[in-house]
Amino acid sequence: MVRNQIDIITMGCSKNLVDSELLMKQFEANGFTCKHDSKRPNGEIVVVNTCGFINDAKEESINTILELAQAKQEGRISKLFVMGCLSQRYQQQLEKLIPEVDKYYGKFNYKQLLYDLGKAEVKECSGVRHLTTPRHYAYLKISEGCDRHCAYCAIPIITGKHVSRPMNEILDEVRRLVSQGVKEFQVIAQELTYYGIDIDGHQHIAELVEAMADVPGVKWIRLHYAYPTHFPYELLRVMREKHNVCRYLDIALQHISDHMLTAMRRHVTKAETYELIRRLRDEVPGIHLRTTLMVGFPGETEADFNELMEFVRVARFERMGAFAYSEEEDTYSGIHYTDDVPAEVKQARLDKLMALQQNISAEIEAEKVGSVMQVVIDRKEGDYYIGRTEFCSPEVDPEVLIPAHDRALRVGNFYQVKITHSEEFDIYGIVQ
């Protein structure tokens, strides 16, 4: 056990990661040493930042807490604290289930932990983060919460209503991170395109991204978690005109049949979805779309699923993830619908959908062979440098492998790379 060391373990999404980074900076300003996501935490204090989005994520968070509770009982750590989405939603149940935890915090009151340890928030470090990502990129959270209330989703229950950060505060953070060496920004929110609505009733995401793009030193901006309803098309002009706004958009669509979209309370139609994709591709040539789809939602028929398969064939998403519906208590579907699609049918549909996408992804990556692309280097692994193009977000998208024996490359630098061949998920290249 290392005295005065705090181990922070982050579960779930990059939005949680930003919260962990903010807390780490406060701990360090109070004299602690911090480690993040250690495989075997050995600090005297451990903080688990939990995820509570779907059953698998909740189970993973609970298992992690139980393992650390055992470590505390064995004397390998001294104190154990839990924060984040799971404890925001289930604090009372968790206190009864795992009483070995010293204290549970929610998603928004975690700074109280500083005071409970006899410390205080250091105002000079407010909004400042200890980055856990490679030095050249960072996640940038521009809002919290969501007003959409899709039938299956517990996020509004956990995070509350949408709250946009002030634009000047976000731009100040961008400038500060650039001064620390950050070149690439992954812009994240529960609902990116809603930014600004709560401030003055208007969408300001295009204005924000354009202002970010004008900050000297910003090399790439990549946009995550847009929503299809009332999409702000002015954003496409910014993506087209600003060379440092990546031609990449993460937009969860969930389904395509009108039957399912209505049941899911998505407030968009099949026709509108196809038109949205057409405009995205027409107005931003070469754009790479990442989406998430769901199978097995209550009432999904074989006809609904076949529509979804055809949608994937036609849309040819460059990046796609999918998951099977799992019922969440207190959501609209959990209250009003019966989870009537058998588990084996959900899994079969999921497997079929992902097999189709795997073939599409392989074809799209193969089309890049022979082209020259700008690549940022993230790390070196064995005989290869590992990088990404503007079309690839960290950790979730295909990577570019460049032989390390040819020449020395610097992590965080950008190079022109000729793509030589591809595999199902990754591509290979040589620096020009």
**Low-confidence residues in the chain, pLDDT < 70:** none
Q: Which of 377, 199, 357 is nearest to 290 (CA)?
A: 357
State the first-to-last Cα distance of the chain, in angstroms, to the nearest integer.
49
pLDDT at 162: 95
Q: Which SS3 state, helix, strand or coil, does residue 344 take?
A: helix
pLDDT tens per residue across span 77-128 = 999 999 988 898 888 999 999 999 999 998 888 788 888 988 888 888 888 9
pTM to 2 decimals?
0.92
pLDDT at 27: 92
pLDDT tens per residue across span 168-184 = 999 999 999 999 999 99
CB 136 within 8 A of CB 412: yes
For residues 253 and 289, give the distance between their C-alpha atoms in angstroms, rounded to a whole number.
11
For residues 307 and 258, give the distance between their C-alpha atoms in angstroms, rounded to a whole number.
10
pLDDT at 108: 83
pLDDT at 26: 93
Sheet holding 220-226, edge to edge: 137-141, 184-188, 220-226, 245-251, 288-295, 319-324
Q: Which of 166, 179, 170 is nearest to 218 (CA)?
A: 179
Mean pLDDT taken over the chain: 94
pLDDT at 316: 97
Q: Which residue has the tokens 């020009």?
A: 432
For residues 314 and 356, give the distance between their C-alpha atoms in angstroms, rounded to a whole number.
11
